[in-house]
Structure 1
Amino acid sequence: MGTMSLRLLLWITLITSLGCARGAFSPPDNYLIDCGSSSNVTVDSRAFAADRSSSWSLTTPQDILASTSSNSVSSFPNSALYQTARVFTSASSYSFPIRSPGRHWIRLYFFPFSYQGTDLTTAKFSVTTQNFVLLDNFQVPNSSAPMFKEYSVNITSSNLILTFAPSGDSIAFVNAIEVVSIPDALITDGAQMANPAGAFPGVPTMAMETVYRVNMGGPLITPLNDTLSRRWVPDQSFLLERNLAKSVVSSAPITYQDGGPTPETAPQSVYGTAVEMSTASVSNVNFNVTWEFPVDASYMYFVRFHFCDIVSKNLNQLYFNVYANSWAVARDLELAKVTAQVLASPYIMDFVVGITDGSGKVRISIGPSTDVPGADTNAILNGLEIMKLNNSAGSLAGQTSVSDVVSPGSKKSMGPILGAVFGALAAVIVAVAIFVVFRRQKLAKKHHSKTWGPFSMNGGISHSLGSKFSNGTLTTITSGQHTILSFRFPFVVIQDATNNFDESWVIGVGGFGKVYKGMLKDDTNVAVKRGNPRSQQGLNEFRTEIELLSRLRHRHLVSLIGYCDEQNEMILVYEYMENGTLKSHLYGSDHPILSWKQRLEICIGAARGLHYLHTGQTKAIIHRDVKSANILLDENFLAKVADFGLSKTGPELDQTHVSTAVKGSFGYLDPEYFRRQQLTEKSDVYSFGVVLLEVLCARPVIDPTLPREMVNLAEWAMKWQRKGQLEQIIDSRIAATIRPDSLRKFGETVEKCLADYGVDRPSMGDVLWNLEYVLQLQEVPARDTDLDSVNRIAEIPLRVQIVSNSENAAEEGVENASRNDLSGVSMSRVFSQLVKAEGR
């Protein structure tokens, strides 16, 4: 009881000591509005003005001020602000003059109540600035509790226009608004990406939404006790194992140093409390303290860590690790080293985190360092902020852009016009549909004995093997020039082929589920991928794989034989690849060593497959999950690209990218795609560049067991490449067999693939050309003069059309597809004319 009383006293001392600190920052712009109110109100020592003022302007067709006498909000913080509201029946805008452009808080208060027959709980609306969507089709989720939204937006113009636009025939409302300047130094351009590691430029220009602001080990901090009027909540509800964490409170003064965090970064009551490891009740002290925060997985998040060593008695004794979503963002962190050997001095780290594992959670962990002898077995964290970053549409609420929000006054007038247009369009569509149905029925009667419909799912025609499958034998059905090679298997056939999914027949496990070796009745070996109902992947990936591979045929793409969707199963049947994955032949198994020539030929085959994906169809197909585990090898070590569940159709001709949520595998992700959520073919090129390094070095792309500078293969290898010493890190088993010129050209190719920006990366066709060149340099050593000539020729923007006619490939089946696919023809004949002196 005495300890608790002392801790409470210390907390009170910390919080009340901030009274003199308030006012350290005086915001140039400070608009506080109690919307719908006719008089001013004071909340947390701040004066909120009545709704109408000459300091700002409001454009709205109707002046609707609502109020309630209900006591239902009296128990909530800032209850005085929720007693009134301004209601909008059509798009309306506040305009705030901005004296000092830069980052500003935009804080919005919502509490729905009933007013003169109008029920605000049904209100649905959007809120935008000139450049960003803050809310889209928003409706207060809990009608019995107020909702507070805080945004941080960089305002570059001389005014801020805040627009409230009702959705459809609904209404919009707001109870209170804050538009307040933020110190310039609060958000700087120094954030790092958690994975893949590297700088994340541009954060100061992005819009943010505060998702969590947490005071580790301390009490609730209200706006009254924060110099920037922020609210910090306790961390207890986010801890996964509370018994592993212990709160620490210090009464010692916090030393804010020049150039470091200030009281505006976080108040003393954040840095004066912390969570540390609680080792009293556990036998094994090698554990992490972990917090878990549910988030929207389709966004990236700015995560700020607040540290202040209030637990150490001496310098250089506390070393610990910090993790974000299981990725180490700091190893062997010793706070005294980054605070000029001063204890109790604040330090912050900024990272950008994406949710690529489908969990919908940000997990933050701290744990002891095991690499520093004699270090304390402890770790601390004082505070944490998690901010959602706007996506490529400039939105914090979906894919709607500002231009998609209805302009003031246009909604009502456009309704009748749009209704007439859509009515006429619907009539035309119905007429066309009737014509098509009758036409198909007529054709079906004429050709019913030999015509098959197009491959489709959900409402289309499934090609069930039925009577075509005799004793478990696959039969290919043809119609005219069409060869249909993917069919629906009965579930009993799959069971029989896999010995009822015998666990000893499992040959792989992935995100979708287990992969079994199977054998059909005609002794055809197949690979059977059975979806796991608990997998993060599901119907979309299943459908994508079927739809893509049913129309793609290429000797360097794994062929889909069929599928099964009976009994709620999602099963895919592929051709069997005897030698498994490229990854398994590089490390982690006892397979024979692949020679450098074999590795290059495998890379060339995979490049051909990816080049076909990018260029062999009307619109490019972007794989999105290129990695060594998705490059399979047949009995002759012919490489084939596999696993198209995450694939995405590329941009239209008049577009440069596809805006989409980030998906892929850690270590292989294109950092530009990760930052901007803008997908192009060059994202596959980046991932393939990482595969090339994996092939060269024969090690995992991410290995947390290695020293920090070696964890990320791409980062580590590029440091050696830029120093011209790539030979220092290649697979020692083949190092002596690689010719220097072959290695040099290979390193240059990889470096171009891993360029920070997609526009600086080569196409897959260019990568393929360069890899063929690398192979020729390995096989035929050339004289220096010959190499100079080749280098000059290689600079010419030559393109080799690997696939001449994708439509023929789709129309005439595998046989004709292979004939039209020129990727099977080695380019060595071309290069022999360049490299061999006697051939020129």
Structure 2
Amino acid sequence: MNNPISKHPIKTLTPLLLPLFLRMIAIHMAGALPPYVPSEQISLQCGSAGPKFVRDSRYWGGDIRSIFFPFEHQAARNNSVVKDSPLSSYSGQPPYSSARLSRFKFTYTFPLSAGPVFIRLYFYPASYAPNFNRSQALFSVQAGGFTLLHDFNASATADASASDTIYREFCLHTESGHNLNITFTPSNASPDAYAFINGIEILSMPPYLYYTSPQSRDGVTHVGSENTTRINNNTALEMVYRINIGGERWISSDQDTGMYRNWEEYSAPKEVYQSSRSKDTSTDMNVTIIDRYNLTWKFPVDSMFAYLVRLHFCEFDGDVTMPGYRVFNIYIDNQSAEKMADIIEWTGGNERPVYRDYVVFMSGNPAIPKKVNLFLELESDLLNGYWVAILNGLEMFKLSANRSLAGPSPDPPPIAPAKGTPSKPSTRSRTPLLATVVGVACGILGVSVLGFLVFRRRRKVKSTASDGSSSLPTHLCRYFSLAEFKAATQNFNQSFIVGVGGFGHVYKGHIDGGATPVAIKRLKPESSQGAHEFKTEIELLSQLRHRHLVSLIGYCTDKNEMILVYDYVARGTLADHLYQTDNPPLSWGQRLQICIGAARGLRYLHSDAQGTIIHRDVKSTNILLDEKWVAKVSDFGLSKVGTATMSKTHISTAVKGSFGYLDPEYYRRQQLTVKSDVYSFGVVLCEVLCARPAVVHATETRQMNLAEWTKSCHHDGELDQIIDPNMKGKIETECLNKYVEIAMSCIHDSGMERPSMNDVVRGLEFALQLHQNCGERNEDAFASVPGCTTNESVQCISETIFSEINDPNGR
């Protein structure tokens, strides 16, 4: 096994962090060293005159008549005011028991020594009588030359998180001889806007807890790149997630290691390594989705920022004692971050905590910042290990860009007026009403203009200017000139053709000075596909990124051409390795892995993408295989997009697809559903099992549908007649039973009786485990193994011994 430490150095226990990590693993130990003691610690209760004791042994000193009284930037009559918090559960509870508020800028100054610090801001967005309505709290916060928050809508943020209070944690590096200034500035967007703060906490941290040591030769692995990234002192960080994976409760700051960090439910410092997520478990946490053999989390984050993702691991299972027992792959933002992760190999033994750091950039539309989903997936490598993946804890930090960490505030939830109560304008101020009216009018105008532009773009997809500019927005993906593609393919020389389809020819070429191999798909004039499919492919693939979806690089519309360019996928299509080929037959393990990969890609389209996406043309020639045999679903020209919630169960549309793969229910009713993709994928499963095309040419005058033929043989117990001869004696009987069960359920005549793609993934992963239990490690030397299929055992397989997959309607 290759040692990954050489490429990605492990964070080991330095003397400075030793107390931190000893406390983390003080589970089977009689004692531990004292926790980290900060050299700087300020806990400020804003708007208060005296210290108050709080549960975590911190004293919150008031800012009135103290050295931390804020500097007012206006005349005395415009100074900030202090208010006690309204009567609630937070009354008398620092740091939320009082607040400082102002419609003008004010600054706190803190004399600090040089080094990294935590800055924690505490907000209780309530209405502070008589003049500060909670909905008018709109302000920015700057600290140490960084913008931490910009036009921060406190009430909308609290409402969106269903919490009465807001807690924000930042990290930045203070310089020697410079005070730390934290400035609160009301927004110019409204004359009634004001800034407020309830509590400020500043705490020194170990120097290289999150920052890169200048003595370190290596930086942090940059996901999706061969480069590394250094977290230098000129970078500010914002903590966005700190989670105890597998924990059953949140860990409060007083249980941390002297840094008073809060670990959300599911997270902890010491306890973080006691619990881990490694089984098929359901959860109501909205950031987590658990599969049987791989773990997937979905984290909403701001686009156009880079993120530091820290994963905490510790092996406590006494049965996992040697390298190679628990091996898994790590994917972040659907890109490979770590291959064959092995905790024992990293640490040398049990009960030894370790963390791994990764940096990933979350792209988006720079003109319209919004939330995007960052996916984290741990995939069990059952070919190389014996145990499923684990994760004990996670921390995620946003990294500053252009000295800013500010992201968009969430939209406030709509408030319905009381039934029978007419709405009336406020008598206190007419200005906000006027601003609202103007804003609504501008919004309607903007939507109208946007609608017109979208309509124009739909009408002019195929039109191009003589200079090569396209009506398709170039921000979606890279735009190429026709000259670049001619150079990459020697003017579309036929010797460069690597594939032919309904769209046209596919050429292999090289771009970027020959450094990057790509697949170039050129629409032929007589193709039945055209501008609509071309546009659909660009708009979908440019916004989708997943390990098991083909990656779109760019497009060209010069001189009325329609050309798409993708990452080059070296091994061609799945069909190329099943039938009518000189390629050696795929092993059963390879076939299962390929099917699982393709199923995961479809599951992402159905469940995890922005809105439900129905591929509508799933077939073996649209499943590509890269150099490492990783399956990638391709060709999205016929795809349909539903709503994010898919409240309608189907999309009424004309029937399109490929003969032999078409869902018969879709064909009859012209009602497209995600179960239509499931049917097509079931046909692919039949192809993989039988090594035959979807339409079998039995004689010169007769064609036979493979799906129907497989169902007939399955019904009669005659699967041995059509199963790939290369697989006989090489598939464990229980594995074959499970596989055929999945395939038959996918091609059920009734869509309601078919499983979801999530259930298909689970079933195939279970089939892979059964295959591994059969003892196969090297199929080239595979002999007849007890419990594996023979001609006689295959003949005994019929529909009478199969049960339906649980919950065939999906989730």
* More helix by percentage: 1
Normalised by the length of structure 1, the TM-score is 0.45
Larger Rg: 1
Normalised by the length of structure 2, the TM-score is 0.47
